[in-house]
């Protein structure tokens, strides 16, 4: 038996189905289970129970054994003075309060449904990546959709925390923050750190001075990325190298070490050299990107902003020994969607949140709801279990569910877990 299950049983009101008899043989009616306390002190505050027509309001403490009250040293702790009911799995010892009066105790041992205990055991002990898979069952659509809505907000909030830290590190400069966030996305997981360093070493103010000339931006990006540290044969690269050397001196730029860029086990379409050229193209075609993103009203316009029109590939072969000419230069539809989901939506949501601007928050959510569902193994898995994702808001919710709940076996805090355990 685990205490978290007893908490769940108390909180979920499963007990209300039973006629509950206390240790003093009196019947108790639970009117309100109270509010869960996340801090030190009793487990639930302000519960309401009825015994012999008398209503008691106070706190609830839950333990596996009654004797845990003594083991946890509650006897002389003032925080526990207002406990009106001690809920235990096993009443192994009479417990008394500071005035030496017996504390009312409810022993759950005989009230717990063996089916519920078996299901909990499955959730707790299974090796399946989704612990509830062997006993899976879905709540009704209304409850499931409400749960997915909550999860998508949780995921957005998590991303907002990371962006807020980035915003702080950049002195509340939204444009610079968005620029770094976008750069990190271009690096994807493998080269995320390298792209972040690149963006930190190449400030937006420097780029802004060259916003009308693509070759200047390419020179700044490839040079700061460290690719111009050797003699090059390609004419165009030689030209960019020369330009970069001049800018480097002029703006005191520091190149990063090119050995940090990872090419291994990667499709050529994800090679960092290509990604750097795409990044340069995006910066060139959209200065003040964050301000533009804030102004855009519909998803179509937003997508158009990320359709890259000026990516130079032909010269890149020398930098990574790969022929780029056969590769699609611009970002595909899925790549644009991933970028919107991971950069645009969370930063616009955060901007709205910090400025109490509900329109911006709603706009970000609406975009998410209009973007096609993501395709990945986690979404496919949920699909097999009959949870169909209609849009990216749903897929983001499902990622949150898997990563933050299933992976940590937080089934007792999950609406699906609640439904499974409560089902007959």
Closer residue to ligand SF4 (CB): 130 or 282: 130
Q: Which of residues 7-66 bind ligand SF4 (CB under 6 A)?
A: none
**Pairwise CA distance, residues 340 & 182, whole Å:** 10
Q: What phi and psi, each to the nearest 5 degrees, are found at residue 170?
A: -110, 30
Question: How many residues at the interface with ligand SF4, by CB under 6 A?
Answer: 11
Segment interacting with ligand SF4, rule: CB under 6 A, options 25-33, 130-138, 207-215, 347-355:
130-138
Q: How far is the CB of 162 from ligand SF4 (least distance, A)?
A: 23
**Pairwise CA distance, residues 208 & 86, whole Å:** 66
Segment interacting with ligand SF4, rule: CB under 6 A, options 124-132, 233-241, 273-281, 290-298:
124-132
**From candidates 34, 42, 131, 187, binder to ligand SF4 by CB under 6 A:** 131
Closer residue to ligand SF4 (CB): 132 or 183: 132
Binding mask 385-414 for ligand SF4 (x = CB under 6 A): ----------------x---xx---xx--x
Burial class (CB in 10 A: 0-12, 13-18, 19+), 171: exposed
Binding mask 72-111 for ligand SF4 (x = CB under 6 A): ----------------------------------------
DSSP tag of 313: -
Residue 139 within binding range of ligand SF4, rule CB under 6 A: no
Among 186, 204, 206, 210, smallest CA distance to 196 is for 186
Question: In the chain, what are the helix, strand and coil shares in percent, each to the nearest 5?
Answer: 55, 10, 35
**From candidates 62, 130, 311, 341, binder to ligand SF4 by CB under 6 A:** 130
Contacts of 341 (CB under 8 A, 6+ apart): 368, 371, 374, 392, 396
DSSP tag of 286: -
Residue 148 within binding range of ligand SF4, rule CB under 6 A: no
**Pairwise CA distance, residues 117 & 135, whole Å:** 13
Q: How far is the CB of 331 from ligand SF4 (least distance, A)?
A: 33
Site residues (CB under 6 A) for ligand SF4?
Answer: 130-132, 401, 405-406, 410-411, 414, 416-417
């Amino acid at each position: 038996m685990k205490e978290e299950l007893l908490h769940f049983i108390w909180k979920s009101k499963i007990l209300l189905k039973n006629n509950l008899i206390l240790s003093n043989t009196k019947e108790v009616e639970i009117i309100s289970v109270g509010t869960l306390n996340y801090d030190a002190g009793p487990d639930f505050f302000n519960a309401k129970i009825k015994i012999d027509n008398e209503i008691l309001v106070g706190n609830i403490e839950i333990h596996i054994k009654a004797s845990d009250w003594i083991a946890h040293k509650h006897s002389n702790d003032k925080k526990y003075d207002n406990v009106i009911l001690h809920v235990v799995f096993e009443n192994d010892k009479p417990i008394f309060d500071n005035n030496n009066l017996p504390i009312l105790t409810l022993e759950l041992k005989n009230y717990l449904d063996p089916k519920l205990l078996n299901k909990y055991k499955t959730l707790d002990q299974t090796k399946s990546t989704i612990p509830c898979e062997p006993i899976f069952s879905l709540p009704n659509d209304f409850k499931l959709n409400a749960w997915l809505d909550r999860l998508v907000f949780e995921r957005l909030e998590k991303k907002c925390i990371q962006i807020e830290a980035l915003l702080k590190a950049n002195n509340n400069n939204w444009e610079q923050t968005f620029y770094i966030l976008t750069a990190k996305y271009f690096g994807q997981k493998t080269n995320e750190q390298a792209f972040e360093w690149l963006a930190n070493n190449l400030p937006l103010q420097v780029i802004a001075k060259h916003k009308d000339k693509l070759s200047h931006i390419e020179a700044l990006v490839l040079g700061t990325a460290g690719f111009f540290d050797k003699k090059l044969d390609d004419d165009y690269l030689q030209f960019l190298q020369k330009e970069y050397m001049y800018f480097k001196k002029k703006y005191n730029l520091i190149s990063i070490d090119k050995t940090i860029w990872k090419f291994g086990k990667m499709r050529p379409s994800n090679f960092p050299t290509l990604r750097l050229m795409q990044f340069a193209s995006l910066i060139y075609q959209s200065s003040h990107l964050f301000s533009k993103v804030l102004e855009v009203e519909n998803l179509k316009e937003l997508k158009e902003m990320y359709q890259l029109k000026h990516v130079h590939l032909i010269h890149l072969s020398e930098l990574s020994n790969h022929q780029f000419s056969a590769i699609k230069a611009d970002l595909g539809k899925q790549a644009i969607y991933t970028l919107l989901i991971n950069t645009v939506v969370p930063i616009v949501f955060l901007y709205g949140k910090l400025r109490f601007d509900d329109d911006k928050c709603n706009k970000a959510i609406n975009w998410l709801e209009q973007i096609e569902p993501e395709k990945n193994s986690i979404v496919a898995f949920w699909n097999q279990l009959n949870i169909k994702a209609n849009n990216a808001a749903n897929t983001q919710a499902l990622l949150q569910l898997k990563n933050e709940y299933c992976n940590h076996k937080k089934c007792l805090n999950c609406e699906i877990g609640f439904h499974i355990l409560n089902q007959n």
